[in-house]
A and B are shown apart, each in its own frame.
Chain A
Amino acid sequence: MGLFDRHAGLLEAYRDVRTTGYDPFQIRMERVLSPTKAIINGRETLLVGTNNYFGLTFDPSCMEAAIEAIRAEGTGTTGSRIANGSYSEHVALEKEIAEFYGKKHCMVFTTGYQANLGVIATLAGQGDFLLIDADSHASIYDACKMTQAEVVRFKHNDPTSLEARLRRLGDKPGNRVVVLEGIYSMLGDSAPLREFVDVCKKYGAYVLIDEAHSLGALGEHGRGLCEKAGVLDDCHFIVGTFSKTLGAIGGYCVSDDPDFDILRVTVRSYMFTASLPPSIVASVRQALRVVKARPELRTQLWDNVATLYDGLKAQGFTLGPEHGPVVGVHLPDRMTAIGFWRAMLDAGIYVNVAVPPATPNGVSLLRCSLCAVHTKEQLDHMVEVMTGIGRQFGVLPDKQLRAAGAR
């Protein structure tokens, strides 16, 4: 058997995708102009698929902070914190994130992926039980491959399904660790966190929540779903990323557990990879200040969510179950999704296309993510463009038919 033979099915699917002309997994941004604009295929394109929720990638204060840090401390740390030591900025950033959540401890990682991978695989060890939502992010699934704990999936966003699985464990010894996400990255739906927390309390389970897509977006201070649901104190571990709302790269985990720092010498994805460079740490610290100082960005983001979600819904598109900074548009199959995606790109709008096996329940999606600095005009235009393509692809009923049906 050849090395790549086991990927035969995937290769074939990928070949199909490429017959459409563009390869959605190798898009080249020839030049990025702003949080919402880039040159793709030689034309100025509206970006609605970059998780840049607050548009902070071009925030002048964040950019200046990063430039200053490079001048002061150089371009990189060239090693991990346990080998090369922590810069005082790493420590300062950890303190600021801990304070942001009102938690005692924080550990910063080089990516959010590594934070989930290392923390989850380490927290639940031999003899423990790890219970994960069926629609969990790849980083959570990969942690499940590394852990020595017994892993069980429960139905997406279904506290009753979790409860059944905790109940079945009966009085078996071992810790129970439940992993949830604030906002799910494909359809933009939120976990019923309060109900989940009640179940976890009843069975003495620890709660770890990944707020990757909800940092900044949810809660009075932008702390995420745990703040919005009023259960910050009941979430034992909160994981997040700097790569979305904060416009840079990196991950973190906060907790009140008194022994939390032992993770610094047990989590391999923290110990055996280089720490974040000074420029990133500086821009993230500044971005966190912006999130605190400018709550209007959150309001703008949700206004934009409403414009796109309600606009598409009114035209008859099938969307994710609720408003969210991610708006998932359901399409009937993979090839329609890819054709639709390409037609949008030709019309100057970039979104993500998500097809099985990367999606829950085998659905094919256009995944749109909104930015606080999109304008209403841009989004109205996008709804118009998508409606036109939707009719052309037969995803939406024809205009005449619609009119006839309405009579």
Chain B
Amino acid sequence: MRTAHQLTVENDGIADTLTLTRGISRAEVISEICAHLEPYQTGEKPITGETVIAKDLTIDSLAIMDMVMELEDRFDVSIPMSVIAEIHTVDQLADTIRDLRTQA
């Protein structure tokens, strides 16, 4: 199966619409991540882009990896484990997903 992005190269006519399906707003990615993290929120402090996932929340490392697997399928990207290990904040996770989507 080809990805939408590969199709943009080959089918000039519909390139614009397909590129758009691949591109996705940062806000959308962040809101999806926050939805996954909500159950692990502690106290009143809201989850934001700066939230440090493993530290500010009650989520353990295995649950983080499971959440990443869900996000991978939602956004059709794969995040290598070594990259996950370097991600600390919600913003970083969102940016990684967006970068991978444009590379695909």
Contacts and interface: CB of A to CB of B under 8 A. Distances in A.
B81 A155 contact: no
Interface residues on chain A, size class: 20 to 34
Contacts of A357: 60-62
Interface string A343-376: 0000000000000110011100000000000000
B69 A167 contact: no
A403 to B, nearest CB: 37
Nearest to B81: A151
Interface residues on chain B, size class: 20 to 34
Contact of B81 (A144, A165, A168, A360): A144
Contact of B62 (A155, A169, A362): A362
A258 interface: no
Contacts of B78: 152, 165, 168-169
Given A357-B60, A362-B63, A150 B6 contact: no
Contacts, number: 45
Secondary structure dominating the interface of A: mixed
Contacts of A170: 3, 6, 104
B53 to A, nearest CB: 16
B73 interface: yes
Nearest to B61: A357
A357 B62 CA distance: 8
Nearest to A164: B73
B1 interface: yes
Interface string A148-164: 00111111000001001
Contact of B80 (A134, A151, A167, A362): A151
Contacts of B77: 168
Contacts of A150: 80, 82
B60 A153 contact: no
Contacts of A169: 78
Interface string B50-74: 0000000000111101100100110
A169 to B, nearest CB: 7
B76 interface: yes
Contacts of A153: 65, 69, 81
Secondary structure dominating the interface of B: helix
B58 to A, nearest CB: 10
B16 to A, nearest CB: 22
A132 to B, nearest CB: 9
B66 A161 contact: no
B6 to A, nearest CB: 7
B81 to A, nearest CB: 4
Q: Which of A134, A152, A155, A165 has the most CB of B within 10 A?
A: A152
Interface string A122-145: 000000000000100000000010
B60 A362 contact: yes
A168 B76 contact: yes
Contacts of B61: 357
A170 B77 CA distance: 11
Nearest to A131: B78
A155 B74 CA distance: 13
A288 B52 CA distance: 52
Contact of B1 (A152, A167, A361): A167
Interface string B24-67: 00000000000000000000000000000000000011110110
B5 to A, nearest CB: 10
Contacts of A154: 69
Contacts of A165: 72, 78
A170 B65 CA distance: 23
B55 to A, nearest CB: 12
B21 to A, nearest CB: 16
B65 A134 contact: yes
A169 B73 CA distance: 14
B104 to A, nearest CB: 7
Interface string B70-104: 00110011111110000000000000000000001
Contacts of B6: 170
* Ranked 8 nearest A-B pairs via Cβ: A151-B81, A150-B80, A152-B78, A168-B78, A165-B78, A167-B1, A357-B62, A151-B80
Given A165-B72, A362-B60, A362-B63, 13 more contacts: A134-B69, A152-B78, A152-B81, A153-B81, A154-B69, A155-B69, A164-B72, A165-B78, A168-B77, A170-B6, A356-B62, A357-B61, A357-B62
15 contacts: A134-B65, A134-B66, A150-B80, A150-B82, A152-B79, A152-B81, A153-B81, A164-B72, A164-B76, A165-B78, A168-B76, A168-B77, A168-B78, A170-B6, A357-B60
Interface of A: 134, 144, 150-155, 161, 164-165, 167-170, 356-357, 360-362
